[in-house]
Structures are given as structure tokens and as C-alpha cells.
Structure 1
Amino acid sequence: MAAQVLSERDLAFMLYELFDAESLTARQRYADHSRETFDAAIATGKAVALKHFLPIRQKVDTNEPTFDGEKVHLLPEIKPALEAVVEAGLAAPSTDYETGGMQLPLIVTNAAQAHLSAVASTTLGYISLTHANANLIEAHGSDEQIDTWVRPMREGRFMGTMAMTEPGAGSGLADLTTTAARESDGSYRLSGNKIFISGGDHELSENIVHLVLARVKGAPKGVKGISLFIVPKFLLNEDGTIGERNDVALAGLFHKMGGRGHTSTALSFGEKGGATAYLVGEENKGLMYMFHMMNEARIMVGTGAALTALTGYQYALDYARERPQGRLLANKDPESPPIPIIEHADVRRMLLAQKAYAEGAYALCLYGSQLADDEKTAETKEARTKAHTLLDFLTPIIKTWPSEYGPQANNLAIQVMGGHGYINEHPVEMFYRDNRLNPIHEGTTGIQSLDLLGRKVPMNNFAGYRAMLAEMHGTVEQAKGSELSLFAEQLQAALSELQETTNIVLAATAEKDLDLVFSNSVSYLEMFGHIVIAWIWLRQGMAADAGLQANPHKQDEQFYRGKLQAMQYFFHSELPKIYHWSKLVRDIDSTSFEMKPDWF
């Protein structure tokens, strides 16, 4: 019997016992929904994933996109698989009924797309990036732009990208050189080169809507002079039909170690005089607008990383239960039959670590989805503001922690399976390759760490930082006096360490070289991320303990005890690491900073 892609019991636990998603039906926007409609959406997502993506998973990995100089060629099965997602209403199920959506809460949307993301990997990115593109234009574009570009994207006829990175600038957006010149008709002529553009060219849709960062001629230098433009692959006729090709050319494809179903492209704009471009919002505010899509994409990256870790864990778990090998040390009888490898303590250690990483990471991502929904639909302005503050603060952690520890979980899945783990007859080696892209996607770990320590912590008089600490301290107080009080005390001690470390490092910014002070920012991010995941696990432990108090049947009892054991693993084996990271940050350790380029 094939391993399940994801644990449906765990999905239900997170949605209904941990985050109480059913309570969202009391909100006016979701009044038509119930747990039954939520479960139906999740079941539909699973069905589409298993029918259309699972059979082609390995073929997608082994048949990379090719470019013949004129067109991109993809595995033919990808197009009908993506069309099945659109036809099932799963391309943008959180959007309004009027635009073809289901008006599902974002946390339920996350769960409904979970099997798709786990099976399709980055192939689903054609749809996910299109949705994020459309969301940005809805938020910052004109009514005409929404009608012209968003509607066909919602219908699945057009797809969308984000085009930021340039060959000479990389992540340094202040140095981008793509330029735009105003035309008399209100449009612009845009010229420049962009690289690593996911979904930048293909034959999957009628059109591709690029959102491109560029500098209007005469604009200020640096990030303050960046504007955002809609640049379609094909221009439209007056009646909305596809017209002539815009001055956008595919310069080539990049060949990735994983995520091969999603093209990664180099695009050239304006080789023949300038690509027709349409300004979004106002000039010189482009980076602010693009952050709307970037932040959504960062949460998508974290979620994809967590789900890839989860499906790898499920595969390794199934293998460990079925694979007989060796005997326990206490068994001296060579004629006794080999035991399933899950009976060996070190295999259980590796499975437990995977469970702690993957289920902790996905719970964090679901929490992020819940905050994103509360930001829009919570009953009071105060609750909406609080959700916005928390989500904005947590975004670097939601992006980074799953994308760093998801691959570690997949690495352990390979190790559990031994020689069978690194051959492509089994998918865990592919999961690792796919997941290894995520620490780089949408801002490297180093960039996210600078964002957290340098911007998000002190921003708005420490509002997000204080709000996050308050949330975690609130859970600690709830857990005190319960069966989990010892874990609450450990988390409280970790929070004290975090606060003291934060005070010390930020005070040092007034006295020392900023590059020195922030040279250990990744350690700060690791510390903060581990504490947040410990908090997430304490919340899971409290929900599991409540489940045990209700005298569940045997299968549920085993499930809850597994949750509590994973929580214990994280607190015993992972949380203590924060004190090492804390020391590096507090001491302003200069080892890396003082290393000279010529010494390497």
C-alpha cells in the first residue's frame, strides 16, 4: 500500500482542535460555510492532487522544461493538471463568490491546497504566483487594470509573475537598472533584463502578466525611485482579445536542482524599442506595492517547505514500518526474524525529529494564514490591527524557519531509508532537492534575518515584537498549573533569554559598527524562530492534552500521545540550542566579521 501524502488526522487536528477554524463560520463572510464545506474543499484538493499530479510527479522531475529558441516546451501533462485545479475552484478559493472563488477562510484554503502543494511541488507555483499577482493589482491597481488583467487571471486564462531580480543587482533592488519612459498616451516604454523569473514564459495560458520593478527616467536613486509596472507578454486588442506580442523576449531557461516543473527564466524587455508597460499606482512607490506580493510569496514559500517536509516524513514513516532489517541489541538470537526498522531507537529519533520539524513548521504557516484572514475579517478594528501587526512581524520567521528545517526533515527521511533514500526509485531524494530551493526563494535566510533584527523588531516602537512576546507569554500562563507546566517554564526561560539578548544587541547598535553588530543576525533569527516553534508546539501539546482528557478511542489516544512526544522532543533536543545562538548575538561575536577575504 502506498504511503499517504499527508496525515488527514493531523490536518483535522490543526484546523479544528488547534486553531478552531470552525468558529470562523460565525463571521458574515463565511456564514454559508460549515465544517462540512471546509472538509469537502480539502477532499477535493486531495482528489485533484492524487488524480492529476501524483501520477506525473516523477516525470515532471525527470523532464525539465526546454527552450528551442522560440518556445518553451513543458511536459504535456502539466497543462491539464493545472486546468483541473482551476476547474475545481482551487486556484483562488479564498476570493469572492463574484470572482469565481469559494470565500473560504485563508487557513482552510491553505489546508485545501495542502495535498496539491505536497504532490505538485513548485509546479503549483504557476497558479500560486498568479493568485498573488492578482491580489496585488486588486489592492493597488486601477479599476480598469483590475477588469483588464485580474479577471482573466482569476478565470485561469492568464497567468502572472513577479519580475524583480536583475543580473547585476541580485537581491540588491536599490541597484536595479531596468528603466521606463513615459509615453503621451499614459503608458510607458520599459527596457531591461530580469533573471530567475519563475513562470516567466510557457505555453500554459493565453497570456502572462509580468509585474516588473523599474526606474522611471529621472527618478531618485535607490529604492525610493522604484516603480511597478504591468507588462503583458501579449498586448490586448480593444475588445480584450489577445493582440500582438509585446517587446518581451525569453533569453533562456535556468536548470534547477529541483522544482523542475516551474520554469525559471531570463527575460529581456525592450530589445525592439521598449516593452509597453502600465504603471501600477503612483511612480516611485513600486517597492511598497511589490511587498504586498513578496510577503504573500514568502508565506507561500514557508508553507511549501513545510508540506514537502510533511510528505517526506509520511513516506519515511511508511517505509520504516514496512522495512525489516536487523535485530535489537538485546536480542542475541541470530535465527530470529529481522524487525521493522522503526523498532530501532535511532530510526525513531530521526522520525521524531522530522515530525517535530514538519508539523511545527506547518502549524506556524497555518497560524500565519489565520492572521492574514483576521487582518481582513476579524470583527473589530482592534483585532484586525493586532493581526496585521503580528503577521508583518512574523513573516521573516514564517518564510525562513520552515525553509531551513524542512530540508533538514527531508534529509532525515533519506537517512531513515538508507540506500533506498538516495535513489530516484523513491521520491524522498526529490523532496530534498525541491525543498533545498526554499531557503533562497523570496529572500535568503541572511536577508530575512536582517529584516527581523534590523527592521521588524524595532519597527513602530517595537509593536510587533511586543505583540508576539505577549502572545507567547499568554500561552505560558495558560499552561502553568497543567500537566505541561514544566514545558511552560522552559518556554518562559527562553523568552527571558530572548528579551535580554534583544536589549543587548540593539543597545550595541548605538556604540559599535552596524555590520559587526548584525553579523550574527542569522543566529538571532534561529533563536527567535526556535522559540516561536516551541510556542507552537506548546499550543499543540495543550490541544493534545485536552483531547486525551476527553477519553478518546485508541487510535486518537495514540495520535495525541505522538503529539505530546514530538513536543517533548522539541523542548528537550531543540529549544536548548537557543542559548548557544543567544551567546553569539549577545557577545557580538566577531569571528565571521573579522575574517578577511584574502584568508579564505
Structure 2
Amino acid sequence: MRDIKFQLFEWLPTNELLTTERYSQFDRGDVEMVLEEALKLAQEQLAPSNKDGDTVGARLENGRVFMPKSFHAAYQKMCEGDWIGCINNPEYGGMGLPGVVGTAINELFFGANMSLCLTTLLTRGASYLIEKFGTDEMIKLFCERLYKGIWAGTMCLTEPQAGSDVGASKARAIKQPNGRYLIQGEKIFITGGDQDLTENIIHAVLARTPKAPEGTAGLSLFMIPKIRVKPDGSLGEPNDVVCSRLEEKMGIHGSPTCSLVFGGNNGCEAFLVGEENHGMKLMFHMMNPARIEVGLQGEAVAAATYLAALDYAKTRLQSRHWTRFKDHEAPQVPIVEHPDVRRMLFTSAAYVQAMRALLMQTSFYIDMTQVTAGEEQERYQSYVEVLTPICKAWASDWGFRVTEWCLHVYGGYGYCSDYPAEQYMRDAKIAAIYEGTNGIQALDLVARKLPAKGGKPIRELLGKAEATFKKLRGDPQFMEPAWMLGAALKQIEDISKGLTKRPDAALVVVLNSVPFLDMIGDVLGAHFLLDQAIIARTKLQGLLEADGVKTEDKDALRTYLQGKAEAAFYHNKVQAAIHFAYRVLPQVTARAVAIRAGEMGPIDAVM
């Protein structure tokens, strides 16, 4: 929680955001109180039910999905506190908090119980689509009930023959005399496609009308209630939506991943959202925020895994201290004293902070699109569009790696179900796969987002990293990390310019889109941490001066840091930035060497 508050209020100008008309009803005290309540809910309700999600899981019986009993009480508490729509329109039951605060809240929730909170993510998204593009009738019937959690929402894109290739969808929509549509088709891999937490579920579904063009250009967006809704909002008869299968998965067992059959008896009625054939364009308004939240899942589970591993390492006694390793009379020490364990833990901590910074910065830019207009608004929106695939892919990939490192901290126990590490690792992996695989995110970045607006948004974002380099290149403490950042930026620039001159440029780009996304993520992460380290160092120096501690006296400084949590926090922020630069930025150069070489082994290999 301390780093969340640091990033919100000491690094990002959230206090200034709260002075804008849109968010003026909140001040820092309000936000901190909300965060403390969110943490309490996460610790007391969500986290205790996480194990049930894994061991009991969701189950399908006679066409109905049943969730673990402990999920019901936890979900009800989320509804009672209006947490599901915490960042959404108060007119329809939301709290109206800034998105960057919602990111902090949802980090706590996803880290406590990812399976349960997947339902709330999609509910927010479905309701937002209706609020933004639905008719007055739809808004009145659905929005408040969704934001309040009385009903839930889903997103239904994938079909057996149409995974990443959404344009191959075959679900059909036939317009009826009353203006509604009858839907027929099957959707698979639908998160929360059925459950018994809510009395109704509103499915956001892509389907094709009879004369629609092929591909994504012919898809329309529909809202399909599981139970039909009467004009007064009360529930009517079932709407011919059937769960035919639950997937058996590696992780997130508490989240039902469903196959849904719509209109098996030709009785599935749907509401058209927007115009026919505009469905894919509209669905991106749900998909893009969801992609950022999927990246948040990777970071949140990584953070939870790190904290659990750190706690374990402080209490698990094993082997002698490394300075007395040959002394057989020396006592065992907590494994947190062993250098390799400390390396795994601190590298994990640095990555978590970098991922958190990326996600919070992106969320802050989203907030700025809500409180600005004209060219300024367009600039912030362009930043969000570039950062979205990086948030999703970089945070989910490296979040998973953090769970792997932290599992190693436990040794053999980490591989066993006695401790939460193995569940965290299994749960985290899906974030790199769903909501568009990370390979798809990388292709989207290099093919669409980087060239957008003549490349101006990415140049400006990397320009902020260059400003950090220039600020610190002569700083005695940060000089070497700064020059490593500058060198990494130069590698990205050289690759970007050099590839366009190659005759095989298109193939080299698509073959290396994932490592290139990683290069940008690494540079942004290092930039964010160094930027934060400047603030942390100043705060630490203030504490040291106030308490009369001399940095030249290393023993006194160490004793002081061990006894004062606030000073230790700032000290560790500085060390995390330096550590991340040394351990991560050299990988940017290594990837650049491989890309520049134009190595074609995967293409030339016979498979």
C-alpha cells in the first residue's frame, strides 16, 4: 500500500487531478480512506475465499454454473460498497472516482482474488458500453443494475472457428418487427458466462446480420440478457441462453470459462447497440480498458506473490549466514538473509514497482482525457492508445515471471499447495493469453500504434524517458543507470530507423514484434523508476537531516533504516531504480543485436 500511495500522490499529480471539476468532490483524504477500505475488503473478504476458488472452483450442473459458497459473501460485500462501479458515472450507481484510483483499488482486489474479480471487470465494461452507445431504454434497464452488481456482464467474441480472427465469427442476428434481434450461434471461452452470484447476466455479443459484409466490418454489437427483462426492469422468462460446457483450466478455477449456446430454440432476443456493422469498433471501447486491466491482473498477482514470498523468507530458517558459512556452530538464519533469495525478492519488487508505474501512468492519462479538450485531450488519448498493448503484454508477461521467481523463494514448498505461490503462478499465466494474446498486442503496437500520427505519440513518450536521462546523466548516484537508459533509448531509435531500409522489413518486424515491445516496456519501466527515485532520494535526505543521521556512517545509517519504515521505503525506492537499470536495460541491447542481425531461424526452420 505504501508504494501505491507514493505513486498516486508523490509521483503522479493526482492532487491536481482532484481539483478539476469532474473530480472536485474528492480530496486526498477521501482517496486514502477509500484505499484503506478497499484493502480491508481485500484482506478480510476476497483473499480468504481465493483458496476455495482454486480447490472448489466453479461447477456446471444441469446447465447451471455454481460458484464456491465463500464467493457469495465476498461478492455481496463488493456490491454493498459500490466497488464494482467505483470509477463509473454516479448517475448510474458508480462512485465517480478517477480511473487512476480505480487502478489502485483493483490492484488490491485482483491480487486478493483474481477469479472472483474477473466477473466485476467485465460487468463494468458491459455497462460502460451501454452507457456510451446504448439507447435510453437500455441505459434505464441495465446500467445501474450492472454498476451496482445486481446483474453481471460478459464479453462474447470467440467462437470455435474464430479465436484471434474475430472476423470469422458466424453467429447470426435476424431483425424482428419489434426492433429487437433473434440471435443464433455459439461462443466459447466466455469468462463468467454463467454463475449464481447474480440474478441476471447481460452478454455483450458480436454477431452478423444476413447481408453484412465478411470480416470484422460485418459484425454488429448486441446486448443479450440471460433472463429477459420487462419494461419495468423486472425479470421475465429465460432468454434461450444455455451454458453447454465449462473449460477445465490450469488456473483461475473459480472463474467459470463457459461455452454458451445462443438461440438453440430460436428464442434468444437481443438489443442492438449502435448501428449494424459497427460492432467491432464499439467493442474496442470495452476491449481496450479490459486489456489494461488484464495487465493489471499480471502486476497485482505478482505483487501479492512477492509479499507472500517476502513474509515467508523472513520466517523460514535455513542454513547459516553467508558470512559464517564455514562456522558449523553458527545458527540458522531466515532465508531472507541469503544473497540469492534477496536477489529474487528485490528483482521481483523492482518489476512490481515498474509495472505499477506503467499502469498508473496510463490510467492517469485516461483521466486526463476526461478533464481536457481539443488538442490536449487528443494528445493524452494518443498516449493511452500506444501504452495499452504495452500495459497488457509487458505487465502480464513479467508479472508471470515474478510469480516464478517468488515460487523459487519457497524451494520445494513453493511447488506444493501448502503455500499460495503455485496458485498465484497458475492464475497469473492466463493474463498473457486472453483479451488478445501478447503476440497480438505486439503486432498491434508495431503495425498500428507506433506509426499512428506519424509516430509523434511514441516519440513524445520516449522523449520523457530521454528527459530523465539528461536530468541524471551527471548525477553521481544515478549517472551509470542514466547512461544505460540513454543507450537503451538509442537502440530503440536505431532499430526503428534501420528496419525501414531493409528489403525484408515487414517480416523482420512481425518476427520481432514481441521483443521490440519488451524493449519499449523495459525502457519505460526504467524511466519511471528513476523518475520516482529522484523524489524518493529527496524525501530520504529530508528525513536523515531532520534526525541528524550522517550518510557517511554506514553502520548508523543501516541501523536507522532498519528502525524507521518511512526512511527504509524511500531508500529501497532508490535502490530498486538502480537495480532495475543494471539488471533489465542491458537486455534491451541484447534484443536489439538479435533484431538488427535479421536472423531468420524460425522462418527457415522446417516445422
TM category (shorter chain) comes to over 0.9
Q: Name the structure 2 match of 1:338.
A: 332
Structure 2: unaligned runs, 5 residues or longer: 548-563
The 5 A counterparts of 1:107-506 are: 107-331=100-324, 332-378=326-372, 380-482=373-475, 483-506=477-500
Question: Deviation of residue 505 (structure 1)?
Answer: 2.3
Q: Is the 8 A contact 2:446 2:509 kept in 1?
A: no
Give, in whole Å, the separation in 2 of the partners of 1:383 and 1:480: 30
TM-score after normalising by structure 1: 0.95
Task: Quickly say closer, same or farther: Cα 1:192–1:443, change in 2 above 3 A.
Answer: same
Q: Is the 8 A contact 1:44 1:112 kept in 2?
A: no
Deviation per CA, 1:45-66, whole angstroms, max 9, x where unpaired? 1111222122222122100211
Give, in whole Å, the separation in 2 of the partners of 1:397 and 1:277: 35
Question: Deviation of residue 481 (structure 1)?
Answer: 4.0
Structure 1: unaligned runs, 5 residues or longer: 1-7
Task: Quickly say closer, same or farther: Cα 1:363–1:181, change in 2 above 3 A.
Answer: same
SS of the residue 1:339 aligns to? strand
Question: Deviation of residue 329 (structure 1)?
Answer: 4.2
Give, in whole Å, the separation in 1 of the partners of 2:284 and 2:460: 22
Give, in whole Å, the separation in 1 of the partners of 2:192 and 2:304: 24
Query: Which segment is superposed worse, 395-404 or 219-228?
Result: 219-228
Give, in whole Å, the separation in 2 of the partners of 1:162 and 1:370: 25
Is 1:92 matched with 2:75?
no
Q: Name the structure 1 match of 2:605.
A: 595
Q: Is the 8 A contact 1:161 1:200 kept in 2?
A: yes
Give, in whole Å, the separation in 1 of the partners of 2:204 and 2:60: 23
Q: Is the 8 A contact 1:29 1:377 kept in 2?
A: yes
Is 1:543 matched with 2:535?
yes
Give, in whole Å, the separation in 2 of the partners of 1:466 and 1:317: 38
1:532 to 502, 518, 524: 524
Query: Which segment is superposed worse, 16-25 or 355-364?
Result: 16-25
Give, in whole Å, the separation in 2 of the partners of 1:328 and 1:222: 63
SS of the residue 1:550 aligns to? helix
Question: Deviation of residue 478 (structure 1)?
Answer: 3.4
Give, in whole Å, the separation in 2 of the partners of 1:254 and 1:159: 20
Give, in whole Å, the separation in 2 of the partners of 1:474 and 1:330: 42
Q: Name the structure 2 match of 1:5.
A: none
Give, in whole Å, the separation in 1 of the partners of 2:541 and 2:323: 36
Is 1:74 matched with 2:67?
yes
TM-score after normalising by structure 2: 0.94
Query: Which segment is superposed worse, 134-143 or 447-456?
Result: 134-143
Is 1:586 matched with 2:596?
yes
Task: Quickly say closer, same or farther: Cα 1:323–1:129, change in 2 above 3 A.
Answer: same
Count of residues in correspondence between the two structures: 587
Q: Percent identity?
A: 34
1:576 to 572, 586, 591: 586
Query: Which segment is superposed worse, 133-142 or 392-401?
Result: 133-142
Q: One-letter code of the match for 1:560?
A: Y
Deviation per CA, 1:449-507, whole angstroms, max 9, x where unpaired? 11111111112221322222222223333334444233222212211110110122244
Question: Deviation of residue 516 (structure 1)?
Answer: 4.9
Query: Which segment is superposed worse, 293-302 or 91-100?
Result: 91-100
Q: One-letter code of the match for 1:496?
A: K
Query: Which segment is superposed worse, 458-467 or 10-19?
Result: 458-467
The 5 A counterparts of 1:557-572 are: 557-572=567-582
Q: Is the 8 A contact 1:42 1:113 kept in 2?
A: no
Question: Deviation of residue 155 (structure 1)?
Answer: 2.4
CA RMSD, Structure 1 to Structure 2 (Å): 1.6
Query: Which segment is superposed worse, 191-200 or 526-535?
Result: 526-535
Deviation per CA, 1:85-113, whole angstroms, max 9, x where unpaired? 11112111122333232221111122233
Q: Is the 8 A contact 2:93 2:144 kept in 1?
A: no
Give, in whole Å, the separation in 2 of the partners of 1:179 and 1:506: 42
Deviation per CA, 1:231-258, whole angstroms, max 9, x where unpaired? 1111112322101111211111012211
Q: Is the 8 A contact 1:371 1:387 kept in 2?
A: yes
Q: Name the structure 2 match of 1:4.
A: none
Give, in whole Å, the separation in 2 of the partners of 1:274 and 1:544: 61
Task: Quickly say closer, same or farther: Cα 1:104–1:219, change in 2 above 3 A.
Answer: same
Give, in whole Å, the separation in 2 of the partners of 1:492 and 1:531: 9
Give, in whole Å, the separation in 1 of the partners of 2:257 and 2:593: 40
Q: Is the 8 A contact 2:92 2:143 kept in 1?
A: no
Q: Is the 8 A contact 1:375 1:388 kept in 2?
A: yes
Give, in whole Å, the separation in 2 of the partners of 1:26 and 1:73: 45
SS of the residue 1:128 aligns to? helix
